[in-house]
A and B are shown apart, each in its own frame.
Chain A
């Protein structure tokens, strides 16, 4: 019997090629999106890990301490520790060429044997014509062949880089092949002698890393434990792969966003599959009736439909993987770009890496999505009464009725999802939190037939009065099959909900940040030397910064150093501020604590401020003692103020700059806040600052308004991915609409032919299909609006409040909605053109006899 049923399926697919192709298309979209993101994730992780591993060389232990580095003298303690065979220092600096291209310069002790780091670039791959000159001349630099070729550099050429010590000229005296270490960051790497690098970058006696190779007979974990004992708190001792994991964490936001996108694509593909199978069952009502009459049991009918789903699911998954591979190239690029914008971590991305696990998961998900999509249609098919099916082909499908039970279940699921969100705990993890949102969306999907009925009741009189009978028929057709319409409306709804939620998150973050900028970052001018918001690769030296304070018209210049530190194994932001100046300028900076009362204490270095999310995450309250681990020992102070600040998703600590300089031995300056004299001319101050710093370092002087715009612009850049996701979500929704309309036309051949037979022009048929697509999308928009508001609440509350600890005010993205809704309507109208043309060109005589 199975063979017989398989024959029926094969014939069906052959006879209904369009429907089969569209069903496959739905599966391909979902699987491709999933696989692209999974492959891009693996590729990015792989790239980040290999970067860390390549830079670490043979080291099995790495010693680091935040951005400021740590004293070189610790090298001796490390070398003396039992189990340590070799320990080599390293310094990492990023420079910029005239074309704004970045170059990672690694400073190594070239006078040593370089037992660990020699492995980075095998001797055979290095060409240094004059090794003595390379070592003796402090401006010597070895670059990768790739970098040399792209910058037209040959032996002896000078390479000018913008560095924190100003514009510096280096001489290229060595090259290495772009393999292994030479391939890191796409070959934008260079090697120098560490002492020269320390001098040039004003980092004497400071290193960023000590790479350790433990003795052959030593256990690495034992050596790590021994090193932790001898080294001060605040110094991290870990395996290189753990450092790789930290880098991975830094791009987790982008990964979660892309992960959500792929999940969304899968959900939408379930709607498409449901739609295709539902219509397939509807069209095969009589065939199923015949099979039942011939003695096929109802469970076998169900198996027939599910079997078709599995076969199509498998085929669609394989095709989806192929399409996903191409998408992965783009997704990996988006990920690394977003990571670069936000964190300065640039990674080289080659072809997507494919893991057997991703392949298997993609196929499995494609099949599961197909089974879920086909489940209800299969059940409907199995319930076909052969007598009715054979006697009356007009009443093919049982349509859903929006009874009270269904309404209550839908509302109940939405309410439950909201309650769970409200009481959400960060520790349950993203998957569980995502399930709350899913519950809400499922509730909305259950209510969709009700929304469709309501929508058609509202639209029908309007259509009847103003648009003509073709619009009435279009709306009726939509309302007559709420189950089929629900699938399309559902796909659009989810897509739009995603757009609105994304928009709300972006808008809320911008609005909150804008408030903080006005309240706390409100100097007349802000001077910085980096276009990165989080990663301060270059810093002003104090003497350069002092020149800014002397520019005529400058009343006061405050310095801010932005760095990070480990706190309770989390990486938090550390902002070292001139407290006196800041609190004078920003008397309302604090949410908890009295600025005027704590100003003198903070200026004397007797306390800390922390951000709201830091307080939330680490359970800190006003007045609590807080201990920070500095490279020079623990630093314990009272928390004298708490403020909303968005520097880090983990938390931010504010300390007096002089205290930071003492404990971190770091006098770098990242931002200079300039307060101008009342009558000073802003343009001459700006010019004066640029002149004072020019020639030494890159400098960007922003007025308050410009800085505000710059920061908000950076947020926009960071959310490029979010905007791209919105476009993709709408496009997937539109594709689902095309799918539905084409399938729906094949189902309605007869109705369309009747209209043509009684005098309907082709144009009227086209209009009818376009009206129907627009009616469906109007309901999609209305439900998407409701689902979007609910999703925005979930996303904001869970991802921002619960996970990051921020308190973001809810901002509804009015502009986005005002723009996107007409766009969705337009896309829907455009998406319906092909189906409309197909409908208009149907053969009338064939259609009338069509069953």
Chain B
């Protein structure tokens, strides 16, 4: 069975205007299909996060088109875009971006409540997600009261609570120690295999990328997909460097 296209970039470029204008993405064309796990790698400032923002409709391309499930984002109104994000896309950030005044449970139920779902029902669903990420005992804690790894797991639960088809994770392990980082990556992998959620992961971490079906590399705004051979080589180099 042909897998459906989830995200498609067609000749997308993104320039940031200013005194020293920057081109963050140059003529990017690629397609990501349902159920795939994709890593985007690259040095700081190479345009990784911009790719994610464009895919989530948080930012508009300067030229070209971004499609999510076949819909051209540039043709959607702000409300349609918001609805798409709310119903189809889950976002995970490096700095967690939880609301500090809401408990873990309230943070996770937030997208559902914004959707107008009753508090009880939204919290029931949020509890099951917290259970899934192993934090059912932390549901009444505020973000300040839990560890970094736990915060990121709450953020994953929040991203997954609306059962999105696409999960966009921007350096989800960047602020975590290796143990917590591994736990987060495991959860993302499980979500992909259990629910078929497409995952796009921006990362610096080669080992995190290793677990993905596809790896893209972006340098100076130019994105290219690594071949399997190159990925194997890169892995080996990194392993040697570690030793």
Residues on A lying within 8 angstroms of B by beta carbon are 394-395, 464-465, 468-470, 472-473, 476-477, 479-480, 750-751, 754-762, 764, 843-845, 848-849
Contact with A along B93-131 (1 / 0, CB 8 A): 100010111100010011101111001000000000000
The reply to whether the CB of B158 lies closer than 8 angstroms to some CB of chain A is yes
Given A469-B113, A469-B114, A844-B58, are A761 and B79 also a contact pair (CB < 8 Å)? yes
- Docked-complex contact A759 and B82, CB < 8 angstroms: yes
Choose one: B82, B100, B109, B162; the contact of A761 (CB below 8 Å).
Answer: B82
Smallest Cβ-Cβ distance to A481: which chain B residue: B101
Using Cβ atoms and an 8 Å threshold, which residues of chain A touch B115? 759
Tell me which residues across on chain B come within 8 A of A843, comparing CB atoms: 59
Q: How far, in angstroms, from A134 to B82 measured CA to CA in the complex?
A: 89
Query: Measured between C-beta atoms, what is the minimum distance from A285 to chain B in Å?
Result: 15
Given that A465-B119, A476-B102 are contacting pairs, would A760 and B97 also be in contact in the complex, using a CB cutoff of 8 Å? no
Cα-based distance from A476 to B142 in the complex (angstroms): 12
Known contacts A757-B91, A760-B82, A844-B58; A750 and B53 CB within 8 A of each other: no
Beta-carbon contact of B82 and A845 below 8 Å: no
Chain A nearest Cβ from B150, distance in angstroms: 15
Residue of A nearest to B91 (CB): A757
User: Is B85 in the interface zone, CB < 8 Å from A?
Assistant: yes
CB closest residue in chain A, given B115: A759
The residues of B that contact A751 with a CB separation of less than 8 Å are: 99
Please give, as numbers and ranges, the residues of chain A lying within 8 Å of B119 by CB-CB distance.
464-465
Q: Can you identify 19 A-B contacts, CB atoms within 8 angstroms?
A: A464-B119, A468-B113, A469-B110, A469-B113, A469-B114, A470-B114, A472-B106, A473-B102, A750-B97, A751-B99, A755-B99, A757-B58, A757-B85, A758-B85, A758-B91, A760-B82, A848-B93, A848-B97, A849-B49
> Given the complex of chains A and B, what is the CA–CA distance between A281 and B111 in angstroms?
32
Residues of B within 8 A of A470 (CB): 114
A759: B residues at CB distance < 8 A: 82-83, 85-87, 111, 114-115, 162
Is B238 an interface residue, CB under 8 A from the partner? no
With A755-B114, A761-B79, A762-B78: A394-B87 Cβ-Cβ less than 8 Å: no
Q: If A844-B58, A845-B59, A848-B58 touch, does A758 touch B101 (CB 8 Å cutoff)? A: no
From the candidates A395, A755, A764, A845, name the one contacting B53 in the complex (CB within 8 A). Answer: A845
- Please give me the residue from chain A that is nearest to B95 by CB atom: A394
* Contacting residues of chain B (122-163) with chain A, CB-CB under 8 angstroms: 144, 158-159, 162
Q: Which of B86, B109, B144, B159 has the most chain A CB atoms closer than 10 A to its own CB?
A: B86
* Residue of chain A at shortest CB distance from B90: A758
A755 to B: closest C-beta gap in Å = 7
B56 within 8 A of A: yes
By a CB distance below 8 angstroms, the chain A residues around B49 are 849
Q: Are B99 and A756 in contact (CB under 8 A)?
A: no
Closest to B53 in A: A845
Complex-state Cα separation, A756 to B100, whole angstroms: 16
Pair A758/B113 contact, Cβ less than 8 Å: no
Q: Are A477 and B53 in contact (CB under 8 A)?
A: no
Q: Which of A469, A476, A764, A848 has the most CB of B within 10 A?
A: A469
Bound complex: CA of A762 vs CA of B119, how far in Å?
Answer: 21
Q: Which residues of A contact B83 (CB under 8 A)?
A: 759
**Which chain B residues lie closer than 8 Å to A394 at the CB level?**
100, 144
User: In the bound complex, do residue B99 and residue A754 qualify as a contact, i.e. CB atoms below 8 Å apart?
Assistant: yes
- Residues of chain B within 8 A of A468, CB atoms compared: 113, 116
Given known contacts A468-B113, A759-B85, A759-B87, is B93 in contact with A473 (CB within 8 Å)?
no
A465 to B122, CA, bound (A): 13
Chain A residue contacts of B85, Cβ below 8 A: 757-759
- Chain B's closest residue to A475 (CB) is B101
Chain A residue nearest in CB terms to B122: A469
Residues of A within 8 A of B114 (CB): 469-470, 755, 758-761, 764
Q: How far is the CB of A417 from chain B (nearest CB, A)?
A: 35
Nearest CB on B from A360, distance (A) = 43
Q: Within residues 149 to 198 of chain B, which ones have a CB less than 8 A from any CB in chain A?
A: 158-159, 162
Set of chain B residues within 8 Å of A473, measured between Cβ atoms: 99, 101-102
Closest to A847 in B: B58
B contact residues around A476 at 8 Å (CB): 99, 101-102
**Residues in B neighbouring A480, C-beta threshold 8 A:** 100-101
**Most A CB within 10 A of own CB, among B101, B111, B158:** B101
Q: In the complex, A473→B107 CA distance in Å?
A: 10
Q: How far is the CA of A548 from the CA of B91 in the complex (A)?
A: 91
A844 to B83, CA, bound (A): 15
Provide the residues of chain A in CB contact with B53, threshold 8 Å.
845
Contacts of B109 in A (CB 8 A): 469
* Distance of A378 Cα from B77 Cα, bound (Å): 45
Query: Which chain A positions have C-beta within 8 A of B86?
Result: 758-760
Chain A neighbourhood of B106, CB < 8 A: 469, 472
- Which interface residue of A468, A479, A760, A849 has the most chain B CB atoms within 10 A? A760
- In whole angstroms, how far apart are the Cα atoms of A757 and B116 in the complex? 16
User: Considering the complex of A and B, which 10 residue pairs feature the smallest CB-CB distances, nearest first?
Assistant: A759-B86, A476-B101, A469-B113, A845-B59, A845-B58, A845-B53, A844-B58, A754-B97, A758-B111, A759-B111
**Distance A759 CA – B164 CA, assembled complex (angstroms):** 12
- In the assembled complex, the Cα of A751 lies from the Cα of B56 at a distance in Å of 17
Kindly provide the distance from the CB of A268 to the nearest chain B CB, expressed in whole angstroms.
28
Closest to B143 in A: A394
| Known A394-B100, A761-B82; further 8 A-B contacts with Cβ < 8 A | A469-B110, A759-B115, A761-B79, A762-B78, A762-B79, A843-B59, A845-B59, A848-B93
Measured between C-beta atoms, what is the minimum distance from A785 to chain B in Å? 27
How far does the Cβ of B121 sit from chain A's closest Cβ, in whole Å?
13
Closest CB-CB distance, A549 to chain B, in whole Å? 79
Q: With the chains together, A756 CA to B49 CA distance in Å? A: 17
**Shortest Cβ distance from B139 into chain A, in angstroms?**
15
Complex-state Cα separation, A757 to B162, whole angstroms: 13
List A contacts of B110 (CB < 8 A). Answer: 469, 755, 758
Inside 8 A of A755's CB, which chain B residues have their CB? 99, 110, 114
In the bound complex, residues from chain A placing their C-beta under 8 Å from that of B87 are 759
* CB contact list, B20-60 vs A, under 8 A: 49, 53, 56, 58-59
B100 CB contacts on chain A under 8 angstroms: 394, 480
> CA–CA, A172 to B108, complex, Å?
89
In the docked arrangement, what's the CA distance between A274 and B5, Å?
54
B162 CB contacts on chain A under 8 angstroms: 759
Closest Cβ of chain A to B225, distance in Å, is 24
Closest residue of chain B to A764 (Cβ to Cβ) is B114
Complex: chain A residue closest to B49, CB-CB = A849
Distance A758 CA – B83 CA, assembled complex (angstroms): 10
Which B residue sits closest to A394, measured CB to CB? B100
Which of the listed residues A479, A759, A761, A764 has the most CB atoms from chain B within 10 Å of its own CB? A759
Residue of A473, A476, A755, A757 with most chain B CB atoms under a 10 A cut-off = A757
Report the Cα distance A755→B115, complex, angstroms. Answer: 12
Shortest CB–CB separation between residue B50 and chain A, in angstroms?
Answer: 8
- CA gap between A468 and B144 in the complex, in Å: 24
Chain B residues within an 8 Å CB radius of A844: 58-59
Minimal Cβ-Cβ distance residue in B for A477? B101
Bound Cα distance A472, B110 (Å): 11
Among B59, B109, B144, B162, the most chain A Cβ lie within 10 Å of the Cβ of B59
A460's nearest neighbour on chain B, judged by CB, is B101
A365–B19 Cα gap in the complex (Å)? 41
Q: Give bound CA distance, A468 to B117, whole Å.
A: 9
Query: A764 — which chain B residues lie within 8 A by C-beta?
Result: 114
The smallest beta-carbon distance between A566 and chain B, in angstroms, is: 67
> Which residues of chain A have C-beta atoms less than 8 A from B59's C-beta?
843-845
Residue in B closest to A469 when the chains form the complex, CB atoms = B113
Q: Smallest CB-CB separation from B119: which chain A residue?
A: A464
Which residues of chain B are within 8 angstroms of A750 by Cβ–Cβ distance? Answer: 97
* Complex Cα spacing A480 to B116, Å: 25
Minimal beta-carbon separation of B54 from chain A (angstroms): 9
Minimum distance in angstroms from B87 CB to a CB of chain A: 7
Residues of A within 8 A of B113 (CB): 468-469
Q: Please pick, from A395, A479, A845, the residue contacting B101 in the complex, using a CB distance under 8 A.
A: A479
- B46 → chain A closest CB, angstroms: 15
Please, which residues of chain A bring their CB within 8 A of the CB of B111? 758-759
